[in-house]
C-alpha cells in the first residue's frame, strides 16, 4: 500500500465555493408560503449569520478561520492511499486510490463541517444546537465539535439506526450530547408522525423536521445540518483540495472520481475541486460518479423538482433530485444514505451533465467491502462501501478494456460501529431492497406544485 501524506502546514487555508464557477446560477431556495426566493433574514431564526453568508456567497474561495484550522490539525491532512493489494486481487491495470477520512476522532468526514458550524455558532453566542443524524456519523461529529466550543447539543437519531448502532449513541453521549430515537414525543412533528405510524423506522427527513422545530421553538438554540446545504458542502471541499495537492505530489491526475451519496457532502467535498477543472475545460474527459443505494435511488429514479428538505414541510423548498419528502426508505444499514433528496449543487451539476449516478443493492456493496477489508485492511462504513463497489466495478472494466486509468474514491469513514451489519452479511441476513415504481410515483405525486 502506498500512502501519500501532506505536512500540517499544507492544510488548505480556504474552502472552494463551486458557485463561483457555475455556467448558470443555482436555482434559489423558496419560501414555502410565498414561493419567492428566501433571503438571509429568513434563515436567521436557525442559522448564524456567518453560515448564512457562506450559503449565498458567490466568492470562489472563502477563508478558513485559524481557530477551525487549529482543530483540523488533530486529523488533517488526511492520507491518500493507493490500494495496490486490491489492484493485484482484481488483476487490473488501473490504479486505485482512496482518500481516507476515517482518521478523524468521530471516524468520518463529517467533522470538517461540524467544527466549522460549531465555531460560527459559538462566535455569535449560540448556547445550544439541535440536529439530526442517520447512521450517527454527523451526530457524533457535531457532539465532538460542540464539546470543543462549549455548546450544548441535542441529536435526533433516525430510529432504525438508533437501534442498529447503539455505540454511535454512546460515542455522542461521551461528548456530552443528548441523543433521542426519532421520531420522538418531544416535538409536535414527532408526535404526529408516531400517531400516523407508531412502528415507523424513521427517516432523515423526519429527524430533520424534529430538529428544525426544536431550534425554531427555543430562543437559545440553532439548527445544524450535516449535508445538503451549500455551506456544508463548501466546508467539505477541504477533502478534494487536499486530494489535488496529493496527486500533484506524485504527478498524477484521476480519470474517474467516485463517492457515495446520501445528502451529498462527502462526494461533493471530494469532487467539486475536480469538477471545476471539467467546467473550465481543463479536464473535459474526467468521469465523476456518485453512488447511492437502490433502496433510496434519489439521483437515479427521482425527479429534478422543488421539494421540502424535511418530511413535514418546515424547511424552504430546494431544487434537487427527490423521491418526494413523504418517501420513507427501507431500513438499510447505510443509514447515512437514507435521504429523499440531495444537495442542490450536486443535483444541478448532475442535471447539467458534469457527473452521473449509479445505484447498488446492499449485498453486492458488502461483498465489495469484504474484498476491500481482506486486501487493504480497512473496515469501512456501509455508506463508504458503496464507493468501494463502484471503484471495483470501474477497475474491472479497465481490465476488460486493458486501460490504465486512475480511479480515486472518497472513503468517507470507518465501519467500527457497523460490525453488526457485517455480522448480518456473514450470516446471510442482509436483504436487497427495492421500491416499486408505483410507490415512488406515489411519493413524487405529493411534491409541491411549483
440 assigned to some structural domain: yes
Q: 187 - beta bridge partners? A: none
CA distance 146 to 101: 20
Q: In this structure, what C-alpha cell is assigned to residue 337?
A: 444514505
Cα 385 to its chain centre, rounded Å, is 13
Helix H, strand E, coil C: the string for the chain is CEEECCCHHHCCCEEECHHHHCCCCCCCCECCCCCCECCHHHHCCCCCHHHHHHHHCCCCEEECCHHHHHHHCCCCCCCEEECHHHHHHHCCCCEEEEEECCCCCCCECCHHHHHHHHHHHHHCCCCEEEEEECCCHHHHHHHHHHHHHCCEEEEEEEHHHHHHCHHHHHHHHHCCCEEEEECCCCCHHHHHHHHHCCCCCCCHHHHHHHHHHHHHCCCCEEECCCCCCHHHHHHHHHHHHHHHHHHHHCCCCCCEEEEECCCCHHHHHHHHHHHHHHHCCCCCCCEEEEEEECCCCHHHHCEEEEEECCCCCCCCEEEEEECCCCCCCCCCCCHHHCCCCCCHHHHHHHHCCCCEEEEECHHHHHHHHHHHHHHHCCCECHHHHHHHHHHHHHHHHHHHHCCCCEEEEEECEECCCCHHHHHHHHCCCCCCCCCCHHHHHHHHCCCCCC
45 assigned to some structural domain: no
167 assigned to some structural domain: no
- Kindly report whether the peptide bond that precedes residue 385 is cis, defined as omega within 30 degrees of 0: no
Q: In this structure, what C-alpha cell is assigned to residue 175?
A: 461528548
31 assigned to some structural domain: no
293 assigned to some structural domain: yes
CA geometry: angle at 97 spanning 93 and 99, to 5°?
Answer: 170
CA distance 202 to 191: 12
CATH, residue 354: 3.40.50.1100
Q: 307 - beta bridge partners? A: 318
120 assigned to some structural domain: no
283 assigned to some structural domain: yes
Q: Indicate the length of the chain as a whole number.
A: 450
Could you tell me if residue 402 is left (phi over 0), alpha (psi between -120 and 50 degrees) or otherwise beta? left
Contact 430, 294 (CB under 8 A): no
Task: Report the pLDDT value the prediction gives residue 1, as an integer from 0 to 100.
Answer: 65
Q: Count the domains in the chain.
A: 1
pLDDT in tens, the chain (450 residues): 699 999 999 999 999 999 999 999 999 999 988 999 998 888 888 899 999 999 999 999 999 999 999 999 999 999 999 999 999 999 999 999 999 999 999 999 999 999 999 999 999 999 999 999 988 899 999 999 999 999 999 999 999 889 988 999 999 999 999 999 999 999 999 999 999 999 998 988 899 899 999 999 999 999 999 999 999 999 999 999 999 999 999 999 999 999 999 999 999 999 999 999 999 999 999 999 999 999 999 999 999 999 998 887 888 999 999 999 888 877 777 767 888 899 999 999 999 999 999 999 999 999 999 999 999 999 999 999 999 999 999 999 999 999 999 999 999 999 999 999 999 999 999 999 888 788 888 888 888 888
192 assigned to some structural domain: no
Task: Report the pLDDT value the prediction gives residue 41, as an integer from 0 to 100.
Answer: 84
341: containing domain? 67-107+236-444
CB atoms within 10 A of CB 38: 16
Q: In this structure, what C-alpha cell is assigned to residue 155?
A: 441529536
Contact 383, 337 (CB under 8 A): yes
Tell the residue number behind the cell numbers 449543487, with chain if given: 345
Could you tell me if residue 374 is left (phi over 0), alpha (psi between -120 and 50 degrees) or otherwise beta? alpha
Which string of b and e fits 143-156 if b means at least 16 CB within 10 Å?
Answer: bbbbbbbebbbbbb
Contact 286, 255 (CB under 8 A): yes
Amino acid at each position: 500500500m502506498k500512502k501519500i501524506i501532506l505536512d500540517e502546514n499544507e492544510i488548505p487555508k480556504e474552502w472552494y465555493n463551486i458557485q463561483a464557477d457555475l455556467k448558470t446560477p443555482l436555482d434559489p431556495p423558496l419560501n414555502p408560503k410565498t414561493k419567492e426566493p428566501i433571503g438571509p433574514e429568513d434563515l436567521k431564526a436557525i442559522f448564524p449569520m456567518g453560515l448564512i453568508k457562506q450559503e449565498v456567497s458567490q466568492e470562489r474561495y472563502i477563508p478558513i478561520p485559524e481557530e477551525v484550522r487549529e482543530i483540523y490539525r488533530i486529523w488533517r491532512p488526511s492520507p491518500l492511499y493507493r490500494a495496490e493489494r486490491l489492484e493485484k486481487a482484481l488483476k487490473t491495470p488501473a490504479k486505485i486510490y482512496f482518500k481516507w477520512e476515517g482518521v478523524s476522532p468521530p471516524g468520518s468526514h463529517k467533522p470538517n463541517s461540524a467544527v466549522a458550524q460549531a465555531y460560527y455558532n459559538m462566535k455569535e453566542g449560540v448556547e445550544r444546537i439541535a440536529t439530526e443524524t442517520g447512521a450517527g456519523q454527523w451526530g457524533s461529529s457535531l457532539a465532538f465539535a460542540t464539546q470543543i466550543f462549549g455548546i450544548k447539543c441535542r441529536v435526533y437519531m433516525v430510529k432504525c439506526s438508533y437501534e442498529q448502532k447503539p455505540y454511535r449513541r454512546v460515542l455522542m453521549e461521551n461528548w456530552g450530547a443528548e441523543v433521542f430515537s426519532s421520531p420522538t414525543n418531544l416535538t409536535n412533528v414527532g408526535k404526529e408522525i408516531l400517531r400516523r405510524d407508531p412502528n415507523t423506522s424513521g427517516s432523515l427527513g423526519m429527524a430533520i423536521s424534529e430538529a428544525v422545530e426544536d431550534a425554531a421553538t427555543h430562543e437559545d438554540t440553532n439548527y445544524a445540518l450535516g449535508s445538503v446545504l451549500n455551506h456544508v458542502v463548501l466546508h467539505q471541499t477541504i477533502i478534494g483540495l487536499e486530494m489535488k495537492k496529493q496527486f500533484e505530489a506524485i504527478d498524477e491526475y484521476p480519470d474517474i472520481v467516485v463517492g457515495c451519496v446520501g445528502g451529498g457532502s462527502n462526494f461533493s467535498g471530494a469532487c467539486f475541486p475536480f469538477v471545476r477543472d471539467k467546467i473550465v475545460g481543463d479536464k473535459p474527459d474526467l468521469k465523476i460518479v456518485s453512488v447511492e443505494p437502490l433502496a433510496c435511488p434519489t439521483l437515479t429514479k427521482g425527479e429534478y423538482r422543488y421539494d421540502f428538505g424535511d418530511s413535514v414541510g418546515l424547511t424552504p423548498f430546494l431544487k434537487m433530485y427527490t423521491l418526494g419528502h413523504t418517501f420513507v426508505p427501507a431500513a438499510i444499514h447505510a443509514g447515512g444514505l437514507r435521504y429523499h433528496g440531495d444537495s442542490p449543487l450536486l443535483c444541478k451539476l448532475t442535471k447539467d451533465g458534469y457527473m452521473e449516478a449509479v445505484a447498488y443493492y446492499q449485498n453486492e456493496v458488502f461483498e465489495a467491502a469484504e474484498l476491500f477489508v481482506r486486501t487493504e485492511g480497512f473496515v469501512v462504513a456501509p455508506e463508504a462501501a458503496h464507493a468501494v463497489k463502484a471503484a471495483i466495478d470501474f477497475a474491472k472494466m479497465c481490465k476488460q478494456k486493458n486501460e490504465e486509468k486512475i480511479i480515486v474514491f472518497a472513503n468517507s469513514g470507518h465501519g467500527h460501529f457497523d460490525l453488526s451489519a457485517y455480522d448480518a452479511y456473514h450470516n446471510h441476513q442482509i436483504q436487497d431492497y427495492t421500491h416499486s415504481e408505483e410507490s415512488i410515483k406515489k411519493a413524487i405525486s405529493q411534491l409541491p406544485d411549483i
